């Protein structure tokens, strides 16, 4: 919390929010407030816990705040927030979900999705080039859709998908098959095997008593195990993977590699 405590929050401070439910797991306030401080900006990002039933009312109220310039969106609102902006930018249109929105000079609110780009950038920077990989992914919600599209765009060879909501799972498979004719996309099983990377793009793992989102017991030890959960940094899935000798990829790599992109989306520049 150093960056927030050291910030001189005053009447002319520009506000940004991150909305979700739950919100205690969000690392975005730390990351973005460090970026604001590094840029020399008089701005602060504040976490806001908003349940789904109150989302439309809460966002309508936030839009009336004159010094609120942008909103970061986290679970479970990434899909439903698409109906609460005036216009979707290209990636959000394709994915059907957003993870950030901002007010334009004309007062219009626009939304975009950078989870997928943050994830694939993070993979590459950690030495895990996704091109040519066979991938298994759990999760077809807002973040899961973004990751699946980004992995397909990055040139993965095949993509197996599962979701507890079979309608979401099947809809995403059909969507990817149409958008990427060269991609081998299919439904997976909760015991994946024969892949190069497995990804948890579900909320499963945020609490210690969550079950594993899928089994890794049939996987070769060379398979990369990735999670997009930020807190805890090492989920039960990642701890189990480390115990088995797998390489792991942390959720913070996604956030760290999209934060600068989102800051640019917000129109922020060093002073």
Active site residues: 78
String of DSSP letters for 18-53:
EEESS-TT--HHHHHHHHHHHHT--EEEEEEE--GG
Cα–Cα distance measured from residue 153 to residue 129, given in angstroms and rounded to the nearest whole number: 13
DSSP assignments along 136-150, one per residue: EEE--SHHHHHHHHH
- Residue pair 161/180 in contact by the 8 Å Cβ criterion: no
250, 238 in Cβ contact below 8 A? yes
- Residues with Cβ within 8 Å of residue 93, at least 6 apart in sequence: none
Element spanning 5, H or E: helix 2-6
What is the largest distance, in Å, between two alpha-carbon atoms of the chain?
57
């Amino acid at each position: 919390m150093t960056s927030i405590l050291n910030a001189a929050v005053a009447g002319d401070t520009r506000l940004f929010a991150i909305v979700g439910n739950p919100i205690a797991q969000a690392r975005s306030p730390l990351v973005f407030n460090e970026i604001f401080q590094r840029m020399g900006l008089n701005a602060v990002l504040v976490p806001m816990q908003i349940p789904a039933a109150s989302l439309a009312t809460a966002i309508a109220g936030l839009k009336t705040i004159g010094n609120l310039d942008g909103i970061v969106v986290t679970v479970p609102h990434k899909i439903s927030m698409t109906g609460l902006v005036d216009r979707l930018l290209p990636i959000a249109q394709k994915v059907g979900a957003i993870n950030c929105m901002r007010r334009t000079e004309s007062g219009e609110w626009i939304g975009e999705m950078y989870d997928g780009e943050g994830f694939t950038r993070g993979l590459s920077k950690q030495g895990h080039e996704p091109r040519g990989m066979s991938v298994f992914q759990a999760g077809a919600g807002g973040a899961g859709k973004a990751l699946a599209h980004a992995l397909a765009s990055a040139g993965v060879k095949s993509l197996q998908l599962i979701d507890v909501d079979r309608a979401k799972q099947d809809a995403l498979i059909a969507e990817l098959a149409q958008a990427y004719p060269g991609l081998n996309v299919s439904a997976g099983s909760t015991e994946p095997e024969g892949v190069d990377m497995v990804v948890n793009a579900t909320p499963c793992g945020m609490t210690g008593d969550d079950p594993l989102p899928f089994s890794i017991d049939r996987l070769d030890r060379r398979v990369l195990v990735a999670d997009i959960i930020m807190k805890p940094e090492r989920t039960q899935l990642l701890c189990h993977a480390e115990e088995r000798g797998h390489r792991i990829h942390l959720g913070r790599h996604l956030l760290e590699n999209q934060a600068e992109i989102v800051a640019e989306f917000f129109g922020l520049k060093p002073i």
